Amino acid sequence: MTAKRKVGASQRHAPLPIVVLISGSGTNLQAIIDAVELADLPVHIRAVISNQPQAQGLERARAAGISAEVVDHTLYADRAAFDVALQAAIDRHQPALVVLAGFMRILTPEFVAHYHGRMLNIHPSLLPAFRGLDTHRRALEAGAREHGLSIHFVTSELDGGPVVLQSKVPIRAGDDATALASRVQIAEHKAYPQVIRWFAEGRLALRDNQVLFDGLALTQPLQLSETFC
């Protein structure tokens, strides 16, 4: 598929309010922050929220002058109670988009439904292959020839929402999980700001669990390419 139109970085867009959810180091968060600071991503990060009080990504947010908040999942009796508290924390910022960037919690169907069509996740595999955890190790053990990442709208099915974009990374002789993860991460830092940009520019939407790009239904995920930049 080729893009019907291109939207240059020089065109003005009202910044889209977003909230980013993290659990760890926040490298994808940093890629998003960097793109905003370069005026290459028309969003306003209203808050970064983590379920882990010691997440390094919270310091990245503070360094950028972004509200950094914690909703510690260990303080709640069950998943449903945590999700209610998390939803309240998010909704205080009235985001148009919720971005999961290494957020390591399985979300309840009620929470997911509340943000239907306005919540994205990045997953380190070429979905539907290797849903869940330890994707790099599993890809190597399976003898896969290529690996990569997928960015998808979130649904109640774990890593099963409609995929917007994928980026393929070759598996090289001698790769271990650490080396493969490092190369996938480089691709992630290019891909996630791009997909968020499309959403902010109104080029990307979800209708009845069908991804629309420039008003056309996708029959397969887009591939990371300069064609779409």
Catalytically active residues are 123
Rounded distance, CA 162 to CA 212, Å? 10
Phi then psi dihedrals of residue 86, to 5 deg: -65, -45
Rounded distance, CA 203 to CA 186, Å? 24
Rounded distance, CA 69 to CA 90, Å? 10
What tokens appear for 205 in the block? 């939407």
Other residues' Cβ atoms within 10 Å of the Cβ of residue 134: 11
What tokens appear for 185 in the block? 């991460």
Query: Pairing state of beta strands 16-22 and 43-50?
Result: parallel
